[in-house]
Amino acid sequence: MLAEPTPKSARALALDLLCEAEARGQYPNIALDHALRRNPLSPADRALATTLVYGVTERRMTLDAIIDRLAAREIEPRVRAILRLGLYQLRYLDRIPAHAAVNESVALATRKSAGFVNAILRAYGRRAGEFTFAAADAASMAIAYSVAEPICAAFIEAFGLARAESIIAAFGRIPPLTLRVNTLRVSRDEYLARLAEAGIEASPCAVPSGIRLAASMNPTLLPGFDDGDCFVQDEASQRCVAALDAQPGELVLDLCACPGAKSFGAAIAMQNRGRVISSDLHANKLSLVASGAERLGISIIETAARDARVPVDELIGRADRVICDVPCSGLGVLGKKPDLRYKSLDDTSRLPAIQAAILETAAGYVRPGGRLVYSTCTILPAENEGVTAPFLAAHPEFAVAEERTLTPDVDGTDGFYYCAMVRV
């Protein structure tokens, strides 16, 4: 009988995933989920493996800059990955003792490279104070915060050097977990009381029915999550849905709906009375909307696979509310998606034309007196005001009711833009 393989440690698992992701030119989020299901780790080790994989991915440019200053030689990819893991623990994880970070990293190395890994990590321990990085321009900001130089340059162009650094620095802080309470089933006060009883610290958001947890955690472990008492939605997205101002009995169109949080929020605001049509270009993702609605006890949502740029004749001029959370560069969620830190901006130049086409089609669905909301999860003006301003100039029948750009440094939310317009 064959013996079962020895389970990998959290650090060994993280190392394998990081090496595999780099070799394939991918990011390890999906592979991490699969690996955690295959490897029987304790909750603490699962958390450590997750922290290491995402943390090293997030801080890779900064870690490499330190490694290259400490090591005057070519470094093979696996050894560099070990050094990244060790340096990340030494530099960013206060709860891990330095000797443990060094010794466990050395244990991951081969006999040939163990001495080199030990020497580099111990050298960093002696010289840690030397490694400070000032953000004087896009190139130095990229190293300081481990964000691709073109993204830093785009933020500096849009907001100036000091504000760009403030925003990018805020993306480096652990984002809070924010919930939308399903008030079809429970009030916000009642749910806050249930969280308190479970020993989970939380507070109300500025938006109705929003709750912010004091510490990040797996949402599926929250009281009543499986029963549909809440769902995950950032406060910025909740503010966008509030600006939609959906009312009971109305017809609401969500043109770029997946994974469905805005549709859910609108349906709850409508007290599950009326009709919400949630459409998306990707038919395979619409099951997320359907299953989410079922969990939440929402019955008024129907789904459809559609290209949001192509008008649906039978809906022209009929909708009370239309929301189009358009495809965008995603540069407002760098704090939650570390892979986006290294995103190429080459393809983003084509986005405003797509976004404008979706907004134009969406406008055609809005009845007189109805409301249209355009939104993105980016803060680059070209994808935001650069789209809505020309639209408004060409469509005097629409007037702005509310327009906001939210940023993590000022608002404590994702980077997000929305413009709510009324057809007058």
Beta strands in 209-274 (DSSP E): 210-213, 230-232, 251-254
Residues in the chain: 424
Task: Read off the pLDDT band of 143 (50, 70, 90).
Answer: very high
Single-letter amino acid code for the residue at 72: A
Query: For the chain, which domains are there?
Result: 10-130 (1.10.940.10), 138-171 (no CATH), 236-423 (3.40.50.150)
pTM score, two decimals? 0.91
Q: What are the C-alpha distances in Å from 306 to residues 261, 264, 345, 359, 389?
A: 18, 19, 26, 15, 26
Does residue 176 carry a pLDDT above 90?
A: no
- Return the pLDDT at 97: 94
Cis before 259? omega within 30: yes
Catalytic residue from among 205, 324, 377, 419: 377
Token pair for residue 47? 């958390």
Distance CA 63, CA 143 (A): 9
Distance CA 306, CA 366 (A): 18
Task: Read off the pLDDT band of 27 (50, 70, 90).
Answer: confident
Question: Over the stretch 43-56, which tens digit does the pLDDT of each residue have?
Answer: 888 889 989 999 99
419 is catalytic: no
- Return the pLDDT at 299: 98
Q: What angle do CA 388, 288, 221 make, to 5 degrees?
A: 110
Does residue 3 carry a pLDDT above 60?
A: no
Does residue 379 carry a pLDDT above 60?
A: yes
Task: Read off the pLDDT band of 2 (50, 70, 90).
Answer: very low
- Return the pLDDT at 32: 82
Question: Over the stretch 229-268, which tens digit does the pLDDT of each residue have?
Answer: 999 999 999 999 999 999 999 999 999 999 999 999 999 9
- Return the pLDDT at 4: 47
- Return the pLDDT at 215: 83
